[in-house]
């Protein structure tokens, strides 16, 4: 499993709270550090609210993504249009 360490946007920089070493190094700087929740809430406000989840029409599989050895990697399902 992979974790994201830092998100950099024009509105601010969010550091993963599990990366205490990065937070400590950046604490005394003039960088605009902000919690990721603040950046999320600001984005929701600019977009007019929290996005809705996908509207699945059915569970029908319309495509299968396979690796070249035939291993199934993922599926694409039908969505309502």
**Quick check: 79 pLDDT over 90?**
no
d(CA 13, CA 37): 11
Q: Grade residue 10 by pLDDT with cuts at 50, 70 and 90.
A: very high
Question: pLDDT tens for residues 62-78?
Answer: 999 999 999 999 998 88
Model pLDDT, residue 77:
86
Pairwise CA distance, residues 20 & 26, whole Å: 10
Of 47, 17, 53, nearest to 7 (Cα)?
17
DSSP class of residue 30 equals: -
Q: What's the rounded mean pLDDT across residues 2-11?
A: 92
């Amino acid at each position: 499993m992979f974790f994201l360490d830092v998100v950099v946007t024009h509105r601010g920089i969010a550091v993963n709270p599990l990366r205490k070493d990065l937070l400590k190094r950046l604490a005394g700087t003039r960088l605009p550090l902000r919690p990721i929740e603040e950046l999320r809430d600001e984005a929701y406000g600019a977009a007019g609210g929290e996005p809705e989840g996908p509207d699945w029409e059915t569970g029908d599989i319309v495509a299968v993504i396979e690796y070249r050895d035939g291993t199934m990697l993922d599926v694409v399902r039908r969505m309502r249009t």
